[in-house]
Amino acid sequence: MTSTSETGHAVPGPVKVLVVDDSLMVRQQVGFALSSAGYDVIEAEDGVQALEKLAAQSGPALMVLDVNMPKMSGLELLQEMRDRKSNVPVVMLTTEGQPKLMQQAKALGAKGWIIKPFRPELLIAAVRKITGTP
Each residue's pLDDT tens digit, 23-39: 999 999 999 999 999 99
Return phi, psi of residue 112, to 5°.
-160, 165
- What would the CATH number be for the domain defined by 14-131? 3.40.50.2300
**pLDDT for 6:** 44
Domain residue ranges of the chain, discontinuous segments joined by +: 14-131
pLDDT at 67 over 80: yes
The answer to whether the CB of 45 falls within 8 A of the CB of 12 is no
**pLDDT for 12:** 56
57 — pLDDT class (breaks 50, 70, 90): low
Q: To the nearest 10°, the Cα dihedral for 43, 49, 50, 51? A: -150
Each residue's pLDDT tens digit, 79-95: 999 999 999 999 999 99
